[in-house]
Amino acid sequence: MNFLSIFVLIPLLMLFGLWVARNLNQVRGVMVAGSTSLLALAVYLTFIFIADRQTLSAEEFPMLYTASFDWFPALNIKYSVGVDGISVAMLLLSAIIVFTGTFASWQLKPLTKEYFLWFTLLSMGVFGFFISIDMFAMFMFYEIALIPMYLLIGVWGSGKKEYSAMKLTLMLMGGSAFLMCGIFGIYYGTGAATMNIIDIANHTNGAQPFAADSLQNLWFVFTFAGFGVLGAMFPFHTWSPDGHASAPTAVSMLHAGVLMKLGGYGCFRIAMYLMPEAANELGWIFLILTGISVVYGAFSACVQTDLKYINAYSSVSHCGLVLFAILMMNQVACTGAILQMLSHGLMTALFFALIGMIYGRTHTRDVRELSGLMRIMPFLAVCYVIAGLANLGLPGLSGFVAEMTIFVGSFSNEGTFYTTLTVIACTSIVITAVYILRLVGKILYGVCTNEHHLALTDATWDERFSVVCLILSVAGLGLAPWWVSDMIGTGVSPIITVIDSAKDFLYVPF
């Protein structure tokens, strides 16, 4: 048994533990023990991965700790695991979010046990997705991660939760329907007769290029759009604001923090890596779409009045930036994209945690009804300012590192088309500053106009703990980005090599 499978095994054990747990303390105990051991495992993995990566070059061994077990031999489907720099970073991110999410939902009231059951199932899907290198297993874990959202939002959510839950589930499942078609296309189109990503890549880069198949473009569109739905790509982003606004705190954290990264990761790992010719040929279409998400998301955030909607549209903008950078198809921009996934995951989780805590006290998320919170709940307010600054890219926090890398990488692409799009996307930084600073000024400073709010208390210990963990991660990534960006770089470079080798198909509209 490969040790990567422990990432799936722990949530399985947690599910079992929750099933037999009989009271609230036991449920909490299982969750804390499980999420702590996941975090410890992820940190351990990061360290040994960095050490091992120095001895084993990324060109020869694109994936480390690989293992594979027969599952459906008749179709050559295996349960294969392996990690590279990108997946290690994502596993670390997921572990941090699950850990802090557990504490953020510490006081969640009705049906606590059931809530954590679905929450754990969701995290199992996420971890499984990142360790798998077999498309079948990846797709299975991907869907495992999607479906608990329905009940998590529908039962424990707020606002128009039934509508949002159904909309989110159907849109994401619609995306995965196309995705499944794309996976079949890759499986039968390449002729490799395997679902293993590395084997397919070796196969198509060797004797039999996939370019020979004229349907590759179609499968690329299906796959990229399928994952793009989860990555909140315009025009498939509409589930995201409603879903995030209705979800309970920890679910918003996990969803915006990790689940949306599944989309970007899948686009990069499956769509771009396995179909580089089509990526070069059709990338520009998606580049325009993601460019729209970046700017449109930021503008939409400016006019929202609900705190969660603001943050959800801001997520659309930042996740759009991830896909935008991936489609620039060079080493720096793609490294930036992965950094942005990490950074956005951490700071959005922080944001949603804080919004959840504020909402839990004031019972309103309407910006117009909130003001002067800095005096009432100073701890939460200061953290909110930090999250906001990270979001708008203040140097020293994670947002700056990621966005800087992305824009430097994007700008280095030649051609008016790329330059123009990059300049347009850059404007989102300014717009972000507008809505964040306005928000901070409105709800935190000034005089509190609502006398009911004066009696409110500041954060409790569990809330402080989860917020401080996230702030430390955000600051850590911002102050010392090199160790993680080097690691990500080793994961990005083999994929970029493959995409570069298919540059003959590069098509730039103008």
Partner 1 sequence: MDYSQFLNMQAELSLLAVIVILFVADLFMCADGKNGRGVYNTCLPVVLLTAHTLLNLCPSCQGAGEAFGGMYQHTPMMSIVKSILAVGTIITFLMAHKWLSRPENLVKQGEFYLITLFTLLGMYFMISSGHFLMFFIGLETASIPMAATVAFDKHRYESAEASAKFILLALFSAALLLYGISLIYGSTGTLYFNDIAAAVSFFNSSTNPVMLLGLLLFITGMGFKISLVPFHLWTADTYEGAPTVVTGFLSVISKGSAAFVLFTVLIKVFGAQDLVYAWDQAFLWIIIASITIANLFAIRQKNLKRFMAFSAISQAGYLVLGIMDGTAQGMTSLVFYLLVYMVANLGAFAVLTVVEENTGGITMDSYNGLYKSNPKLAFLMTLCLFSLAGIPPFAGFFSKFFIFMAAFKAGWHWLVLIALINTVISLYYYLLIVKAMYIIPNDEPLPGFKVDCYSRTALFVCIAGVVFLGLCGVAYNYIDAFAYGLDNMVNGLAEPIKCCCPSSCH
By the rule CB under 8 A, 70 interacts with partner 1: yes
By the rule CB under 8 A, 480 interacts with partner 1: no
Q: How far is the CB of 259 from partner 1 (least distance, A)?
A: 15
By the rule CB under 8 A, 385 interacts with partner 1: no
473, 475, 476, 479: CA torsion to nearest 10: 160
CA–CA distance, 195 with 490 (Å, rounded to integer): 23
Task: Name the residue with tokens 């890549």.
Answer: 201
Determine the interface stretch with partner 1 among 143-151, 247-255, 273-281, 395-403 (rule: CB under 8 A).
143-151
Task: Name the residue with tokens 């590759």.
Answer: 216
Which of 56, 177 has the CB closer to partner 1? 177
Paired tokens of 121: 């199932």
CA–CA distance, 317 with 233 (Å, rounded to integer): 9
Give the interface size with partner 1 as a residue count (CB under 8 A): 33
By the rule CB under 8 A, 60 interacts with partner 1: no
Q: Which are the contacts of 344, defined by CB distance < 8 A and separation ≥ 6?
A: 256, 257, 315, 318, 319, 322, 399, 402
Among 16, 188, 483, 507, binds partner 1 (CB under 8 A): 188
**What phi, psi does 207 have (nearest 5°)?**
-65, -35
By the rule CB under 8 A, 162 interacts with partner 1: yes
Which of 76, 412 has the CB closer to partner 1? 76
Among 34, 101, 154, 297, binds partner 1 (CB under 8 A): 154
Q: How far is the CB of 317 from partner 1 (least distance, A)?
A: 27
By the rule CB under 8 A, 155 interacts with partner 1: yes
Q: How far is the CB of 505 from partner 1 (least distance, A)?
A: 22
SS (H, E, C) 79-147: EEEEECHHHHHHHHHHHHHHHHHHHHCCCCCCCHHHHHHHHHHHHHHHHHHHHECEHHHHHHHHHHHHC
Among 73, 109, 457, 461, binds partner 1 (CB under 8 A): 73
CA–CA distance, 340 with 348 (Å, rounded to integer): 11
Paired tokens of 275: 């179909």
H-type alpha helices, 160-275? 161-190, 197-205, 216-230, 239-246, 249-254, 260-266, 273-274
The contact pattern for partner 1, residues 203-242, with x = CB under 8 A and - = no contact, is ------------x---------------------------
Q: Which are the contacts of 385, defined by CB distance < 8 A and separation ≥ 6?
A: 440, 444
By the rule CB under 8 A, 393 interacts with partner 1: no
Q: How far is the CB of 187 from partner 1 (least distance, A)?
A: 8
By the rule CB under 8 A, 185 interacts with partner 1: yes
Determine the interface stretch with partner 1 among 42-50, 141-149, 202-210, 349-357 (rule: CB under 8 A).
141-149
Q: How far is the CB of 414 from partner 1 (least distance, A)?
A: 37
Residue 456 amino acid letter: L
Which of 222, 296 has the CB closer to partner 1? 222
Residue 91's nearest CA partner among 138, 41, 134 is 41
DSSP string, 296-307: HHHHHHHH--BH
Determine the interface stretch with partner 1 among 66-74, 277-285, 364-372, 409-417 (rule: CB under 8 A).
66-74
Which of 156, 324 has the CB closer to partner 1? 156
By the rule CB under 8 A, 110 interacts with partner 1: no
Task: State the first-to-last Cα distance of the chain, in angstroms, to the nearest integer.
Answer: 52
The contact pattern for partner 1, residues 118-137, with x = CB under 8 A and - = no contact, is ------------------x-
Among 28, 53, 161, 318, binds partner 1 (CB under 8 A): 161
Q: Length of the chain in residues, anyone?
A: 510
By the rule CB under 8 A, 159 interacts with partner 1: no
CA–CA distance, 22 with 100 (Å, rounded to integer): 23
CA–CA distance, 306 with 308 (Å, rounded to integer): 5
Among 48, 67, 147, 394, binds partner 1 (CB under 8 A): 147
Among 99, 119, 150, 324, binds partner 1 (CB under 8 A): 150
Which of 238, 413 has the CB closer to partner 1? 238
The contact pattern for partner 1, residues 77-96, with x = CB under 8 A and - = no contact, is --------------------
Which of 129, 296 has the CB closer to partner 1? 129
Q: How far is the CB of 355 from partner 1 (least distance, A)?
A: 23
Q: Which are the contacts of 371, defined by CB distance < 8 A and separation ≥ 6?
A: 442, 443, 446, 447, 448, 449, 450
By the rule CB under 8 A, 169 interacts with partner 1: yes
Q: Which are the contacts of 25, defined by CB distance < 8 A and separation ≥ 6?
A: none
Binding site for partner 1 (CB under 8 A): 70-75, 136, 140-141, 143-144, 147, 150-151, 154-155, 161-162, 165-166, 169-170, 173-174, 177-178, 180-181, 184-185, 187-188, 215
